[in-house]
């Protein structure tokens, strides 16, 4: 899709507020199969992109389909997403041609279909660099046509016309009286304070073909109005990055009530001066407890060189400067505080471009010293530190109580958060978007280990981490948690390891029914809910979709409050071999036989697998004065009888079940070895 428009300038507005224009369309993903069909997809005729030199509305050009345009259609059978297909513009009217999705009865449409993708649940995904834009020359708009998002999600049949609606917006920035010392403008960064914590969202426009020393620039940015907004009394900042220097313009406050941008509308602002030297800041607070206490700032590397000119404001009226390319040791700098107090330390960098390294990677853990016990709050997101991992960054920072929502925003290459907040016992809240920008992350092992003050987990915490593989011990020891949000791992379809994920989360009382529904590659659930003593039941189908799972070693070990199990709990885990200690110590559990298939009708369920059932049901039901529940007849399966090669030691030792008299002694029962006959004279 391309713009056909007349472009001029727009009225001034100090606070980046509104100038309305009509709306436009946007689409989502589909892929190919089936027969070729022709569909109709229209752009609402009232759609315009209007710019004029005055307050008087002028005529603008409509949007029209172009030969390269593609729609992505998502096919559904009822509410279930079953596949997608791309439809290309035929060059005639509003017609697109593509392949039907077999079995689909309704469709949703997305544009641009050659860029948007769909995840396993049919949710539209944009590439990480989608909003990156380059404007060639002053007052140019050709780049905007590539950033229009449109969709029709009303679930139409292919016989109905799709009517796409706009999902993106545009802002025009009139930038005047630019200092000549900037040199050639290379980037414009528009930053908005979206929450009370600080400037948390920004959009970057690369600029080419602008003369060096120019004093004015009209810049256009397409943006996502669901992301860009201004909190009440929030700040706005525009940063210019030039070949010689960087300058910024900012407001102390903009609109008292904040600003919400609407999809399909066009906004503008004019800046006539007030440019100052730009800095990238990182601030945090510490609490000293004794006189003449020394505080050290650590970096992750044992040694490095400074990527920029740095200034450290220690919060007591003193500063330390570090020159670009200066050699840095593990301790970058230190300060002796004479008087015990709370201090805010600010590290400033003269490299303001968040897409390049701005300062060394700051951490708050040192192997010899341990966790930083003095840090209490992180006030700004980390600048770009070139970080590829945040292992141990805040390990054992027990005094840390506050972190910003976009702490890791500028370090999008990070792949590993192992032990990042482990043993931060003072941390009582996790921001919902904490890992939103870390889409390449694969490892969350022990990330919140022993964060005992946490009481809840945001439902979308890992929504954007679609490459994540490891969640081992992620929330282990988080005793303050009482529940797990539904959908927590829905987007982590590559995840394989949930070992000890909720180990000793003794406050958990329930589990979501679909907790692992979309983790179809998961193989390990060892110790996953070990000693979750408040759990009383397990939802049906908890592991139904984890058909690759191989090990449930001590998965519910010592869940002493567990009383019931669902039928078919492990029926679909046809590759599992290890159930060692799975329900050991579940003293209130009333065991049921049908958590596995019936060996009478499916005796070969475990065939080809060398099973480990050691202590699997040891002491189950021992809380009750009389036998309760029924043991699954594992000894009747192929491979489970006399002379078995399976590991079965003490599988049912101490288990208080009604059929204990037929459990072979080798399995920890009271009967002799072999296939023992039930009291009614039948094996079954």
First to last CA, the chain: 68
What is the longest distance spanned by two Cα atoms in the chain?
A: 99
pLDDT value, residue 45: 46
Q: What is the pTM of this model?
A: 0.77
- Only one residue has tokens 């414009």, namely 188
Which parts of the chain sit beneath pLDDT 50?
Answer: 1-34, 45-61, 679-684
H/E element, 186: strand 185-192
- Residue 137 carries which DSSP code? S
**What pLDDT was estimated at residue 369?**
87
Indicate the fold that domain 169-278 takes in CATH: Immunoglobulin-like (2.60.40)
Q: Phi-psi bin for 282: left (phi > 0), alpha (psi -120 to 50), beta?
A: beta
Residue ranges of domains in the chain: 2-166, 169-278, 279-379
Structure tokens at 247: 């300058």
- The full 3-state SS of 300-348, as one line of letters, equals EEEEEECCCCEEEECCCCCEEEECCCCEEEEEEEEEEECCCCEEEEEEE
Can you tell me the distance from the alpha carbon of 147 to that of 133, in angstroms, rounded to the nearest whole number?
8
Q: By C-alpha distance, which of 465, 434, 438 is closest to 448?
A: 434
Q: What is the reported pLDDT for 405?
A: 87
Q: How far apart are CA 570 and CA 589, in angstroms?
A: 16
| CB contact at 8 A, 355 and 326 | no
- Nearest-5° Cα angle at 498, 497 to 500: 125
């Amino acid at each position: 899709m391309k713009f056909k428009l007349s472009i001029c300038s727009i009225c001034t507005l100090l606070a980046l507020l509104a100038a309305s224009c009509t709306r436009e369309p946007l689409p989502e993903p589909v892929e190919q199969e089936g027969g070729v069909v022709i569909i109709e997809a229209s752009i609402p005729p009232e759609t315009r992109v209007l710019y004029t030199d005055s307050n008087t509305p002028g005529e603008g050009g409509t949007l029209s389909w172009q030969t390269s345009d593609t729609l992505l259609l998502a096919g559904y059978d009822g509410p279930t997403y079953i596949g997608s297909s791309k439809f290309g513009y035929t060059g005639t009217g509003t017609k697109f041609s593509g392949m039907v999705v077999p079995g689909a009865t309704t469709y949703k449409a997305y544009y641009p279909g050659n860029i948007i993708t769909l995840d396993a649940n049919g949710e539209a995904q944009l590439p990480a660099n989608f909003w990156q834009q380059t404007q060639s020359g002053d007052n140019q708009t050709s780049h905007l046509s590539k950033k229009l998002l449109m969709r029709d999600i009303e679930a139409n049949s292919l016989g109905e016309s799709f009517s796409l609606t706009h999902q993106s917006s545009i802002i025009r920035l009139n930038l005047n009286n630019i200092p000549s010392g900037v040199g050639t403008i290379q980037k414009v960064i528009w930053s908005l304070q979206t929450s009370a914590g600080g400037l948390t969202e920004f959009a970057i426009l690369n600029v080419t073909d602008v003369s060096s020393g120019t004093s004015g620039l009209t810049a256009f940015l397409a943006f996502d109005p669901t992301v860009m907004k201004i909190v009440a009394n929030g700040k706005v900042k525009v940063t210019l990055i030039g070949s010689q220097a960087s300058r910024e313009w900012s407001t102390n406050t903009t609109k008292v009530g904040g600003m919400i941008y609407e999809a399909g509308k066009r906004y503008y602002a004019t800046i006539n001066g007030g440019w100052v030297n730009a800095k990238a800041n990182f601030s945090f607070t510490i609490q000293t407890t004794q006189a003449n206490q020394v505080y050290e700032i650590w970096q992750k590397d044992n040694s490095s060189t400074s990527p920029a000119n740095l200034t450290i404001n220690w919060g007591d009226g003193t500063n330390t400067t570090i020159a670009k390319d200066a050699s840095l040791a593990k301790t970058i700098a230190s300060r002796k505080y004479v008087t015990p107090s709370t201090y805010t330390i600010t590290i400033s960098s003269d490299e303001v471009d968040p897409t390049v390294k701005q300062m060394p990677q700051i951490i708050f853990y040192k192997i010899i010293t341990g966790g930083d016990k003095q840090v209490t709050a992180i006030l700004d997101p980390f600048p770009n530190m070139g970080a590829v991992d945040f292992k141990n960054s805040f390990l054992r920072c027990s005094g840390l109580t506050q972190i910003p929502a976009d702490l890791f925003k500028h370090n999008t290459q990070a792949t590993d958060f192992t032990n990042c907040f482990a043993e931060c016992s003072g941390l009582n809240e996790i921001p919902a978007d904490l890992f939103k920008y870390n889409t390449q992350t694969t490892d969350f092992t022990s990330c919140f280990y022993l964060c005992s003050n946490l009481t809840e987990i945001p439902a979308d915490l890992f929504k954007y981490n679609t490459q994540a593989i490891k969640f081992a011990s992620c929330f282990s020891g988080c005793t303050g948690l009482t529940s797990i949000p539904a959908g927590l791992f829905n987007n982590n379809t590559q995840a394989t390891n949930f070992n000890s994920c909720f180990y000793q989360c003794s406050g958990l009382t329930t589990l979501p029914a679909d907790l692992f529904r979309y983790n179809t590659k998961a193989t390990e659930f060892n110790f996953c809910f070990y000693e979750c003593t408040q759990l009383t039941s397990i939802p049906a189908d908890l592991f139904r979709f984890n058909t690759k799972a191989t090990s449930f070693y001590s998965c519910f070990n010592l869940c002493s409050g567990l009383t019931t199990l669902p039928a078919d709990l492990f029926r679909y885990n046809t590759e599992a071999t290890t159930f060692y200690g799975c329900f050991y110590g579940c003293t209130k559990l009333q065991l049921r036989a049908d958590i596995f298939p019936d060996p009478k009708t499916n005796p070969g369920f475990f065939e080809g697998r060398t099973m480990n059932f050691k202590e699997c049901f040891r002491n189950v039901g021992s809380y009750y004065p009389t036998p309760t529940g029924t043991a699954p007849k594992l000894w009747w399966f192929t491979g489970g009888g006399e002379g078995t090669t399976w590991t079965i030691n003490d599988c049912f030792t101490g288990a208080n079940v009604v059929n204990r008299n037929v459990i072979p002694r080798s399995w920890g029962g009271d009967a002799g070895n072999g296939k023992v006959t039930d009291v009614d004279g039948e094996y079954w």
